[in-house]
Structure 1
C-alpha cells in the first residue's frame, strides 16, 4: 500500500505572532516552527498502517527550504521518503493543486493530512484534492482501519459520529484520536539523514485569491468583577458596555 502524508510547516502554538511589510507578511524572526499537530496524527496513523499491511509512506510538504527540518523529523518518525514542492504555500487552492499533481504521478492508495493547518485553519485542502483527483474525501476522520482495498473509518459530525466504509483510493483529513503522536528515536533520527528528499518545482496555478493584509485580534479587555448581590448593576453593564442584552 502506498500512502502519501501531507504535512504543513506552521508556527508553534506558543509563538507570538507579528507581521511586517505593512502587515502583508508574517514576521518569522524568532519563531519556532513545527509539523502541524493534526498532520502529526495523520503521519502516526500512516506509519501504523505501514507496519500492519506493508508498503511505503511518502511525506509531502508544499513549502520552502526552511521547512526541511520538519520533513526530516517526519522521516525519523517512520516515513520512507519525502517530496518538497519548492514554493510558498500561498492559499488552499494552490496547495491542493500541488498535492494533486504529485498524487497523479504516483498513484497513491491513501492520501492523509490533518483536518486543517493551525495557521490559516481553512480545513478545505482535503476536499479540494479529492475533487481534483476525482476520488472521495472525508474529514475529520477519528478512526481508520484498512481491510483489503476497503477503508473503515469514523468521522465526527454535528451531534455524534458517522461510521463509513469506502474503497481505496481516498483522501482523508485526520484528527485525534486516530493515533497517538510518535516521537523519533535515535535510530530513526540517524536513518532519516539518508532517506531521499526530492525537491520539485511547483506547477502553475491560477491565482484565485490574494491576501491583502493581516491583522492581530483586538486585545482582551479588562475583567470587571461584580458582587453577587449587585445583579442590577451587572444587567446595566451588559446593556450599556457589553451590549449583549
Structure 2
C-alpha cells in the first residue's frame, strides 16, 4: 500500500515573524519541516511497514530550500512530490486541498496522512477538504492509528470520551501532535535522502487551473494586544472579603 504524507515547509518558528508589503507571511527566510508533520510522517511510515508498502511525501511550497523535505525523506519516505507555482501565492485552504488532491492522484496513494493543522496557517480544515476533493472518507484528529484488513481504525478524543472510528481504504487521516513518537533519522537515512527523488510540478503539469477568487487578500495585520496585569490581593486578614468584592465587581457572583 502506498501512503502519501502531507508535509509543509514553514518559516523557522525560532525566528521573528516577518510580513511582506501585501500582508502575507514572508517565507524568504529559513524554513523548516513543520513539527506537526513529523507525527504524520511517522504514522504513514508505520502504515506502510504494516502493509509492505511505501511512503511518498506531498507538499505545496514555493521554497527552494530542500532541507525540510530531506528531513522527512531521511525518516524513511522514498520520494517527494512538490507543487510549486507562482500563481499559488496566497491560495486559500480549499485550493491547497485541490492541489494536494492532484498530487495524491498522481502518486497513486491509497491512504493520505496529514497533521491536524499547520504552524503558519492554523486553518485545521485541509484534511477534511482534501477528503472531499478525493471523494474519500476522512478520519480526523486521530490519536492512534492501526490497519485492520482493508480498513483503517483510529481513536480520537472528543468532549464525551474516546471514540473508535473505522473507514475503508482509500481514506484521509489527520493525526494529532503527540499521537506517536517520530523516529530519529539514522545516518544511513540521511545519506539515502540526498539521492531520493524530489519532483516539482506546476499547476499546468497537474492539470489544474487556479480560480482568482481562491486567493487571499490580507486586509490588515496587527500585533495581538498585550495582556493586562492581574490584580494581586495580599492576605492581611481581609483576603476573602477582597476576593468576593473583586468577583462581585465582575458580576461573577
TM-score norm. by structure 2 comes to: 0.85
Provide the C-alpha distance between the structure 2 equivalents of 1:234 and 1:188, rounded to a whole number of angstroms. Answer: 59
Corresponding residue of 1:57: 55
Provide the C-alpha distance between the structure 1 equivalents of 2:44 and 2:92, rounded to a whole number of angstroms. Answer: 25
Aligned residues: CA RMSD: 2.4
Change (3 A) 1:14 1:136: same
Corresponding residue of 1:25: 24
Q: CA deviation at 1:13?
A: 4.0
Change (3 A) 1:106 1:28: closer
| Alpha-carbon displacement from aligned partner over 1:29-48 (angstroms, at most 9, x marks no partner) | 7x653222221111011112
Provide the C-alpha distance between the structure 2 equivalents of 1:244 and 1:208, rounded to a whole number of angstroms. Answer: 45
| Alpha-carbon displacement from aligned partner over 1:25-79 (angstroms, at most 9, x marks no partner) | 32457x6532222211110111122223211100011001345210111111110
Provide the C-alpha distance between the structure 1 equivalents of 2:62 and 2:244, rounded to a whole number of angstroms. Answer: 53
The secondary structure found in structure 1 opposite 2:39 is helix
Unaligned 5+ runs, structure 1: none
TM-score norm. by structure 1 comes to: 0.87
Corresponding residue of 2:106: 105
Corresponding residue of 1:155: 156
Change (3 A) 1:168 1:14: same
Change (3 A) 1:233 1:159: same
Corresponding residue of 1:205: 210
Unaligned 5+ runs, structure 2: none
1:218 aligns with 2:225: yes
Change (3 A) 1:77 1:201: same
- Count matched residues: 241
Corresponding residue of 1:123: 124
Contact 2:5 2:58 in 1 (8 A): yes
Q: CA deviation at 1:239?
A: 7.4
Provide the C-alpha distance between the structure 1 equivalents of 2:20 and 2:50, rounded to a whole number of angstroms. Answer: 47
